[in-house]
Amino acid sequence: MFKPIILVAKQTYRSHIKTRGFWLMVLSPLLMAAVFIGIAYAVVSMQSNTTPNLAVVDSPDISRILKADKQTLKVNISDIKNEDDAKKALKSQKIDGALLITHSGYQLLTQPKSEQIDTQVLSAILKNQQVQLKARNLGLNAAQTADLLRPVEIKTQVYQPGKTSGNNEGANYGLSVGIGIVTMTLVMMYVSMMAQEIANEKSSRIMEILLAATSPAAQYFGKILGIFALVLTQVVIYVVSGTAAIQVLSDNDIVKMLQKTLDGVTVPFVSYAVVFILSAVLLYLILTAIIAALINDQSQVQQAIQPMTYLAMFGYLVSFFLTAMPNNLFIQISSFVPFVAQSTMPTRLALSQVDWLGAMMSLLLTFVAIIVLGYFGLRVYARNVLSYSDENILKQLVNNLKK
The footprint of other proteins (CB under 8 A) covers 4, 7-8, 11, 14-15, 19, 200-201, 204-215, 386
- Please, what is the minimum distance in Å from the beta carbon of residue 400 to other proteins? 16
Q: Given the complex with other proteins, which of 2 and 159 has the nearer CB atom?
A: 2
DSSP one-letter string for 192-225: HHHHHHHHHHHHTTHHHHHHHHS-HHHHHHHHHH
CA 136, 142, 144: angle at the middle one, nearest 5? Answer: 90
Rama region for 257: left / alpha / beta (φ>0; ψ in -120 to 50; rest): alpha
Q: Please state the closest distance from residue 378 (CB atom) to other proteins, in A.
A: 15
If you ran DSSP here, which 8-state letter would residue 104 be given? S
**In the complex, what is the shortest distance from the CB of residue 211 to other proteins, in angstroms, rounded to a whole number?**
6
Q: Which is nearer to other proteins, 257 or 386 (CB)?
A: 386
Closest to other proteins by CB, 11 vs 51, is 11
End-to-end CA distance of the chain: 26
| DSSP three-state, residue 287 | helix
Nearer to other proteins, 214 or 241 (CB): 214
Question: Do residues 55 and 98 lie in contact, with contact meaning Cβ atoms separated by under 8 Å?
Answer: yes
Kindly give the pairing relationship between strand 106-110 and strand 97-101.
Answer: antiparallel
Task: Write b or e for each residue in 357-384: b if 16 or more Cβ atoms lie within 10 A of its Cβ, otherwise e.
Answer: ebbeebbeebeebbeebbeebbebbbbb
As to burial, measured by CB atoms within 10 angstroms (0-12 exposed, 13-18 middle, 19+ buried), residue 184 is buried
Q: What residue type is assigned to position 224 of the chain?
A: I
Q: Which is nearer to other proteins, 7 or 140 (CB)?
A: 7
Tell me how far apart the alpha carbons of residues 397 and 306 are, in angstroms, rounded to a whole number: 14
Taking the complex as a whole, the smallest distance from the CB of residue 197 to other proteins amounts, in Å, to: 10
Residue closer to other proteins, measured from CB, 207 or 369: 207
List, edge to edge, every strand of the sheet that includes 76-80: 76-80, 53-57, 97-101, 106-110
Q: Which is nearer to other proteins, 21 or 242 (CB)?
A: 21
User: Based on CB atoms, which residue is closest to other proteins, 215 or 400?
Assistant: 215
Spatial separation of the C-alpha atoms in residues 272 and 277, rounded to whole Å: 9
Shortest CB 295 distance to other proteins, Å:
15
Of residues 185 and 200, the one with the C-beta less far from other proteins: 200
In the complex, minimum distance from the CB of residue 387 to other proteins, in angstroms, rounded to a whole number: 9
Q: How far is the CB of 383 from other proteins (least distance, A)?
A: 10
Minimum separation from the CB atom of position 9 to other proteins (A):
12
For residues 140, 142, 148 and 154, what is the CA-based torsion angle, rounded to 10 degrees?
Answer: -170
CB of 185 to other proteins, least distance (A): 24
| Residue with smaller CB distance to other proteins, 69 or 201 | 201
CA Rg value for the chain = 31
What are the φ and ψ backbone dihedral angles of 215, each rounded to 5 degrees?
-90, 160
Q: Is 150 strand, coil or helix? A: coil
Q: Cβ distance 135 to 127 under 8 Å?
A: no
Beta strand 53-57 pairing with 76-80: parallel
User: Measured between alpha carbons, how far is 383 from 129 in angstroms, rounded to an integer?
Assistant: 83
Distance of closest approach, residue 1 Cβ to other proteins, in angstroms: 8
